[in-house]
Amino acid sequence: MNSHLTEKISDIHKSNNFSGSIYVQQEKEILANISYGFANRSEKIKNQSDTRYSIASGSKIFTSIAICQLVQAGKLSLHSYVKDCLSIDIPHLDSTITVHHLLTHTSGISDYFDEEIMTNYEELWIKSPMYKVRELEDFLPLFKDKPMKCSVGSKFHYNNAGYILLGLIIEQASKQTFSNYVEEHIFKRASMDAGYFEMDSLPGKVALGYIEDLNNTWKTNIYSIPAKGGADGGAYVTAKDMVQLWESLMRYKLLNEEMTKYLLTPQIQVDDTTYYGYGIWIKREKEKALKYVLMGYDPGVNFRALFYPNNDLKIVVCSNKSEGAFDMISAIEKELTKKMK
């Protein structure tokens, strides 16, 4: 392990009381594999390298890979119309929306949690009890009767509901539940110790998510997110799992070379340097992919992962608090990329 990097990580932990796991690997060398804080604060069970964390929207990459696998298998096309892939009545769904539009957040449908309008994800579950949300269909009442937000393909609008629909397409095309499909065709193939778990029946080696209240008191996020996450989030992984996912992807164990490259191709421009592929953010510099980014945030959940393809550098930070992953990964990235310039 890199002692200078370990020192830097320790400094960040002290400054923001980081809770979670950090895994950094360049080529075959593990530069850092460090955990802080508690997976269970009441029982004083520490976070460890094999602790599994919820990663919220960091899970969208699994949904994208699953769709691309089914495309590769000839079960559907990226240009298939969503209305033809689903036997569910969604009244205001524009008939020209394709699978590609859902993958790139350009479908124009209304979201169930619109980050342009709402800031607190917990508020969503006051009128819609989160304990009833355990299957993908359970998310539908939250958005299926809403009108279109904007015209199809007109702009990038980050959209969780679109990924719920992708999960339903996966279920219909594969004839498996979404979580079973991902666990069998992605997690198992990539040798990941990951899964989609229900909040009220968590297995071992899983970190509870913690929300800090006033006066430095804590509560778990059991009432703040769905009982079981959907295709827009909801997976639990170890930090190392995400390195294994990336390595499996780049060795074409999950998709063939052509489909892998397409998944990682910038599909839509978000700002001057940021693009979006299929389920993954892409930072570009001089017309080339500089790094791939995964991120996730829920109450009690904070996740970031960076993959530098040209330097074979992988940085993963999983936290079971609402904040801290960004500060941690930014400091690690700054430290390591100094040497790359």
What are 305-327's pLDDT values in tens digits? 999 999 999 999 999 999 999 99
Band of pLDDT at residue 286, cut at 50, 70 and 90: confident
Q: Where are the beta strands (DSSP E) in the chain?
A: 20-26, 29-36, 38-40, 45-46, 53-54, 195-196, 210-212, 218-220, 235-237, 268-269, 274-276, 281-285, 288-298, 301-308, 313-319
Q: In this predicted model, what pLDDT tens digit does every residue of 16-38 receive, in sequence order?
A: 899 999 999 999 999 999 999 99
What's the mean per-residue pLDDT of the chain? 93
Q: What is the pLDDT of residues 197-230, one digit of tens each?
A: 999 999 999 999 999 887 788 999 998 889 999 9
Q: How confident is the model at residue 132 (pLDDT cuts 50, 70, 90)?
A: confident
* pLDDT at 187 > cutoff 60: yes
Q: Dihedrals φ, ψ of 222, to 5°?
A: -60, -30
- The domain ranges of the chain are 3-337
Please choose, from the candidates 248, 257, 262, the residue with its C-alpha nearest in 3D space to the C-alpha of residue 307: 248
Per the structure block, which two tokens stand in for 127? 């009128």
Give the predicted TM-score (pTM) of the model. 0.95
Euclidean distance between CA atoms 108 and 155, whole angstroms: 8
CATH of region 3-337: 3.40.710.10
